[in-house]
Structure 1
Amino acid sequence: MTAPLDPTEALTLDDLLERYATLRDTLLGLEVERDELAARIKAALASGEKAETDLYRADLKVSRRVEYPLDRFRDVFGDAAALEVATIDRKKAEALAKAGDLDPERLRGLAVVKETQALVLVPKTR
């Protein structure tokens, strides 16, 4: 790691650029390593393993997102409804269903729930 800038030291623009480039390259390298480590830890946690340090316990946080596949949505509700909601989002489709413009049951039948997993460090002080 590099030491913080000394605010009393006069640096040239070239010096500032050099430091910026060094920090950027360091951060990018650390982010790549962090992502690789997270992928390995998430895979281990998903297979039932446990991981913790003196300060943290690793956990998987699962989040879900509902989507409506455009081709199936268009088949069920038609081109006009697909065009109206395709440029908006699921909230618009659900609003149309709530207003009675779309059949809510058929809309729910189209829903696809996507899950993502995020690695979460849980402080052990809880």
Structure 2
Amino acid sequence: MEGTDDLSLEELLERYATLRDTILGLEAERDELGARVKAALQAGQQAETDLYRATLKVSRRIEYPLERFREVFGDAAALEVAAIDRRRAEALAKAGDLDGEQLRALAVVKETQALVLQSKTR
């Protein structure tokens, strides 16, 4: 990066930490402001600037409550469609409720493809 080529490793780390802390602070402020705007819109208010109009986009995700699904379709069907939450499983292993080595051995990595736009001017 321009202007950082002659910096020492400690100076690079200091700049990195400053940028990270700035970004975290900006993200926290953005989230807080977003929550306030959303609450105002939910209360029926309208908000717009010269460049933007605030609207709420509703998205829906269908879920099936596990206990009710089991009651209706049975244990075998519930097990067939169940998904394991990776973070919760890892938290259980960290807490000692699951064997961490067995959990790691059980893990399967699934790859997905994402579109990435690369600049042609580099």
TM range (shorter): 0.5 to 0.7
1:23 to 19, 39, 45: 19
Residue aligning to 1:61: 57
- TM-score normalised by the chain length of structure 1: 0.63
What letter is aligned with 2:69? F
Q: Which contiguous aligned blocks of 4+ residues in structure 1 show a shift greater than 2 angstroms?
A: none
Alignment root-mean-square deviation, CA: 1.6
Residue aligning to 1:6: 3
- TM-score normalised by the chain length of structure 2: 0.65
Q: How much does 1:6 deviate?
A: 1.3
SS at match of 2:60: strand
The count of aligned residue pairs is 84
Cα distance between partner residues in 1 of 2:79 and 2:9? 51
1:47 matched to 2:68? The reply is no
The 5-angstrom pairing of residues 1-126 of structure 1 reads 5-6=2-3, 9-87=5-83
SS at match of 1:66: coil
Question: Deviation per CA, 1:79-119, whole angstroms, max 9, x where unpaired?
Answer: 0000000128xxxxxxxxxxxxxxxxxxxxxxxxxxxxxxx
Unmatched segments (≥5 aa) in structure 1: 89-126
